[in-house]
Amino acid sequence: VILCIHPSRAPQALQSRGYQRLVLQVGRGSLPQAQPGSSSSAVAVEVFRFKESLAEELQRADLVISHAGAGSCLETLEKGKPLIVVINDKLMDNHQLELAKQLHRDGYVLYCNCSTLVETLQSMNLSALKPFPPGQPEKFASFLDKVLGLQ
């Protein structure tokens, strides 16, 4: 995902949509090299490898671009942030894609691959995304109480 975003036209596309700051979590990947002349005029870029929790960054974000990992997708949606899921075509058998695809079908996330990210950024209409309803663990609790006769 990082390689999709950084050395491409994505920062410019972000700037043209009014975003000013781009924060990248690169994990163990290589640190993105600044493209001389190109992205320096676009958004301000901040890079880190890992953080104990992404909650704070997510809270500050106006838009989240993520891989299809279930954890990242759900955490972002629960914070009520608009999400673009970037699919890695080379990992098509990855079961994690099931969730991302379903979330897209239900209208909760935008969905693209590396080569269509810039187009997606340019044409996206975030207000068309549906708010993600919270899960209902209390239904599980009452189900269990019932079958165990605890009610």
Partner 1 sequence: AGLFVLSAHSGYIAVADTVVADTACSLFCFTGGHTTEILRLLSCLSESYSPRHYVLADSDKMSEAKIRSFEQKRAETFSNLDRIPRSREVRQSWISSVVTTLYSILYSLPLTYKRKPDLILCNGPGTCVPVCLSAFLLGLLRIKRTIIVYVESICRVETLSLSGKILYYFSDYFIVQWPDLKKKYPKSVYLGRIV
Compare residues 13 and 97 and give the one whose CB is closer to partner 1. Answer: 97
CA-nearest of 29, 34, 25, 21 to 55 is 25
The 126-145 site mask, x for binding partner 1 (CB under 8 A), equals: -------x-xxxxxxx-xxx
Alpha helices by DSSP H, 18-136: 55-60, 70-78, 96-105, 117-123
30 is a site residue for partner 1 (CB under 8 A): no
The 87-106 site mask, x for binding partner 1 (CB under 8 A), equals: --------xx-xx-xx----
Alpha carbon separation from 90 to 28, 45, 82, 93, 97 (Å, rounded): 19, 27, 25, 8, 12
Q: How far is the CB of 54 from partner 1 (least distance, A)?
A: 13
What amino acid occupies position 68?
A
User: What is the DSSP pairing of strand 64-66 with strand 21-25?
Assistant: unpaired
Compare residues 13 and 86 and give the one whose CB is closer to partner 1. Answer: 86
149 is a site residue for partner 1 (CB under 8 A): yes
Compare residues 38 and 135 and give the one whose CB is closer to partner 1. Answer: 135
45 is a site residue for partner 1 (CB under 8 A): no
